[in-house]
Amino acid sequence: MSDIPMPPSAVQVVQVMVSATPYARALGFEVTAVGDSRVTMRTPYRADLIGDPETGVIAGGVITALLDHVAGASVMAAMKERQSIATLDLRIDYLRAAEPGRDIFAEAHCYKVTRSVAFVRAVAFEDSPDNPVANATAAFMIASDGARKMGANTRPPR
Amino acid sequence: MSAPVITEAQLRDRFLSVPFARFLNIDLELRGDELTIVMPYREDLIGNVLLPALHGGTLGALLELVAVATVTLKQGDAQLPKTIDITIDYLRSGRPVDTYARAKVTRLGRRIASVHAEAWQHERSDPIAALNGHFLLTQADS
């Protein structure tokens, strides 16, 4: 009976969400903390991700991706069973420009999970969530793939 | 609305020289006053390897870029608008193919532009994601 695999922990699931996601790897995301329905990630400051060459401020699109990813990870951390999820909507308020040369952190809290939908609040910052760069709310579909099989998207739409 | 005073070459200079736009490898096309941004598919853009599906963050970035570029086009020669807020609806999963995006400036005020943008792949009438956003116009003279 010893060969029955243990179910993966929330920490492992969240780690895999970064290591097995090409776009998260391409942007250099790292998991820095995983708690019960809370996840924090970091994206390193990189010259090739700058959105404003005059100031060196990182592109808003990078922060959008980080907030989307960390929000999804917090849903994975909050769910009792492992199910596929997909972002339904994501609202981001850009409160100020990110400081050039600094890594950005994003912390997400999945504060409600229902059978079909999960709700998340997330914040992006350099030093403290009390001084945010951006604030986000998101909703995710749970069991988003329905009956769709692996490789379903490689066929053209009906 | 007055005719655009900014050319495709100027828009290219402005947007395709931005490091993150180069990272996404986007291209743009201007026909009359209609601007389309193209995000060619590549494996780095994937968010779900099983389906496979594009990462939501790539679509968010594409929609924000087309919104900002379209405001710039409407404004003519002004500083780039700053994003105040965006809401993205994910309508379908993004397939591993090229994605296109266009935006409409719903209202161009003195300080704020309201913008609606859509991204599609196979059919323009069947968008995979949509954005509504507000952008702060930074006029040099005010």
In chain B, % helix, strand, coil (3-state, to 5) comes to 25, 35, 35
- Closest residue in A to B45 (Cα) is A23
Each residue's pLDDT tens digit, A28-50 = 999 999 998 999 999 999 999 99
Q: Compare CB distances from B61 to A52, A64, A154 and report the shortest one's residue.
A: A64
Query: How far lies B100's CA from each of A10, B46, B60, in Å?
Result: 36, 16, 12
Q: Are A93 and A133 in contact (CB under 8 A)?
A: no
Name the 3-class secondary structure at A156: coil
The pLDDT of B54-72, averaged and rounded, is 96
Band of residue A2 on the pLDDT scale cut at 50, 70, 90:
low
Residue with more model confidence, A118 or A152: A118
Supply the pTM of this predicted model.
0.93
Each residue's pLDDT tens digit, A47-74 = 999 999 999 999 999 999 999 999 999 9
The pLDDT of A18-36, averaged and rounded, is 95
| A92 chain-B contacts, CB cut-off 8 A | 85-87
Q: Compare CB distances from B87 to A24, A59, A89 and report the shortest one's residue.
A: A89
pLDDT at B142: 43
Residue A140's closest CA among A74, A60, A66? A74
Could you tell me the end-to-end alpha-carbon distance of chain A, in angstroms, rounded to an integer?
45
Residue B67's closest CA among B121, B114, B112? B114
Separation of alpha carbons A17 and B103, rounded Å = 31
pLDDT at B103: 98
| B17 chain-A contacts, CB cut-off 8 A | 53
pLDDT at A133: 98
Separation of alpha carbons A37 and B39, rounded Å = 33
* Predicted confidence (pLDDT) at residue A15 exceeds the cutoff of 50: yes
Taking CB atoms and an 8 Å cut-off, how many pairs form between chains A and B? 146
| A22 chain-B contacts, CB cut-off 8 A | 43-47, 49, 55
Rounded to 5°, the CA angle A93-A98-A104 comes to 95
B20 contacts A51? CB cut-off 8 A: yes
* Predicted confidence (pLDDT) at residue B3 exceeds the cutoff of 90: no
Report ipTM (2 d.p.): 0.92
| A153 chain-B contacts, CB cut-off 8 A | 51-53, 93, 95-96
pLDDT at A147: 59
A64 contacts B122? CB cut-off 8 A: no
| B56 chain-A contacts, CB cut-off 8 A | 65, 68, 86-87, 90
